[in-house]
Structure 1
C-alpha cells in the first residue's frame, strides 16, 4: 500500500485525516480492525503519541470503536454521533447518504401532505414561514416537521424527526455559514414558499419537485462547505 509520509505539522490531525480518507476510499472498511499502533506509526512515518491521539479523536467522532484487549475497529456511519463536541463538517459521503434518504422520504412526504393537509395545517406552515422572530435552523426544522405532520403518517413523522435530529448540529452550522449571504437566505425562503404553495394547491407533482429541488440545492451548498473546509 503506497501511503505518503506525514510532515511534522499537527501530526495527529493529519493521521485522523488520512485514516478518514482511507475509510472513504475503501482501503479500510467498516468492521475491519485497524493495524496496530506500531504498524500505523510505520505506515504514516509518525510517533506513537500521534497515532494514539488520532485514535482518541476518531473514537470521539464515532468513527472507530476501541475494544479492550482486541484492538481498534472501523465503525459504520453513526448519525446520532455526528457532530458531537466540535464544530466539524461531515464527509461528502455522509452528506450524500443523508440526503439520499431525505430525498426519498421528504419528496413522498410532501406529496402526501398535499393530499392530506387541512386548512389548519396550512395556517401553521404559513405562520412558521412568516415568523420574523425565528429564523435559521429552528424555522427550517419546524417547517419540515409541519409538512411531515401534514402527511398524516405517524411512522414517517418519526423517521423525519430522527433524521432532523441527526442533522441538527450540521444544519445549525450551515445556517450560520449562510446567514450573511442575504441572496442565499432569500433563495431558501423562496423554495420553502414554493413547497408550501404546492401543498396548499393540493398539487402532489409540484410538491414532489419543489421539495426535490430544495433538497438538491441545500445538499450542494453543504458539499461546497465541506470542500472549503477540507
Structure 2
C-alpha cells in the first residue's frame, strides 16, 4: 500500500516556520512589530496557544523579542549569528551590507599596512598565512589582526580589537562551514598570500585590490549558502 505518512509536526512549529519565511522575504522587517496574537491567529487560522508557542520558539532562536505592553518585534541582524545553523539565516541584504562595511574598512587597512609595515609585521602576517591550513580560523583571525597592527595606527588597531569578538565568532563558524571543501580553503589561503605579497612589496593599491577581491569571494560563498537553504 502506498500510504502518505501523517505529519507529527505541531501547529505552533508550522506557525513559527511561516513567520520565519515572512521575515526572510521582507514581509516583516528587522525592528518591525509583528501583528498582534489575535491578528496572527486570523492570518494562520490557528488558536492563540499555537501562536504564543510559536513566538516563544522564535524568541529562543533570537528571531524576535517581546516588549511588555507593546508587542513582539523582529530582532535586528546580528553578525555573530551569521553562520549559526540553529538560528535564522540573515537575508542577502544583511550579508551585502556587512561586506560593504568590511570592504571599506579592511581594504583601507591593507593599503595602510603596505605603506607602514615593519619586518616584524611581515613575519607575523606570513606566519598566519603559513599556518592557516592547520589552525583554520585562528590563523585567519590573526592574519587580519596582524594587518591592522601593521598600519601603525593605534586608533585603527583599537577599532579592530573592539570588533574582535564578532570577527572571531564569525571566522570560527565560517571555517566550520567551508572545511568540507578543501579547494575553497586553499583558494582563501592563496588570496591571503597575495595580500601578504602586496604588503611586503609596499604596493598599497594592489593590497587594497587583493583585499576587496578576497572579501568579494567570501561574500559570494555566503550568498550562495543562503540561496541553497
Length-normalised TM-score, structure 2:
0.82
Match of 1:102 in 2: 102
8 Å contact 1:61–1:82 — kept in the other structure? no
Unaligned runs of 5+ in 2: 1-6
Q: Partner of 2:71 in structure 1? A: 71
Mark the structure with the bigger radius of gyration: 2
Query: What is aligned with 1:4?
Result: none
- Quickly say closer, same or farther: Cα 1:14–1:157, change in 2 above 3 A: farther
Distance 2:138 2:49 in 1: 41
SS at match of 1:111: helix
Q: Which residue of 2 aligns with 1:207?
A: 207
Q: Which residue of 2 aligns with 1:227?
A: 227
1:93 positional shift: 2.4
Moved more, 140-149 or 43-52: 43-52
Measured in 1, the distance between the counterparts of 2:203 and 2:42 equals 61
The count of corresponding residues between Structure 1 and Structure 2 is 223
Whether the aligned pair in 2 keeps the contact of 1:87 and 1:173 (CA below 8 Å) is: no
CA RMSD in angstroms, aligned pairs only: 2.8
Tell me whether 193-202 or 159-168 shows the greater mean CA deviation: 159-168
Structure-1-length-normalised TM-score: 0.82
For 1:22-101, list aligned pairs within 5 A: 22-79=22-79, 86=86, 89-101=89-101
Listed as ranges, the gaps of 5+ residues in structure 1 are 1-6
Counterparts of 2:140 and 2:64, CA distance in 1: 32
Q: Shift in Å at residue 184 of structure 1? A: 1.2
Report which stretch shifted further, 139-148 or 159-168.
Answer: 159-168
Distance 1:71 1:158 in 2: 38
Compared with structure 1, are the counterparts of its residues 81 and 227 closer, same or farther at alpha carbon in structure 2 (3 Å cutoff)? closer
Map 1:113-124 → 2, pairs under 5 A: 113-124=113-124
Q: Tell me what 1:172 maps to.
A: 172
How far off its partner does 1:182 sit? 1.9
- Comparing 185-194 with 92-101, which one deviates more in the overlay? 92-101
When residues 60 and 170 of structure 1 are mapped into structure 2, their CA distance, relative to the original with a 3 A threshold, is farther
Q: Would you say the 8 A contact 2:62–2:87 is kept in 1?
A: no
Distance 1:77 1:133, change over 3 A: closer
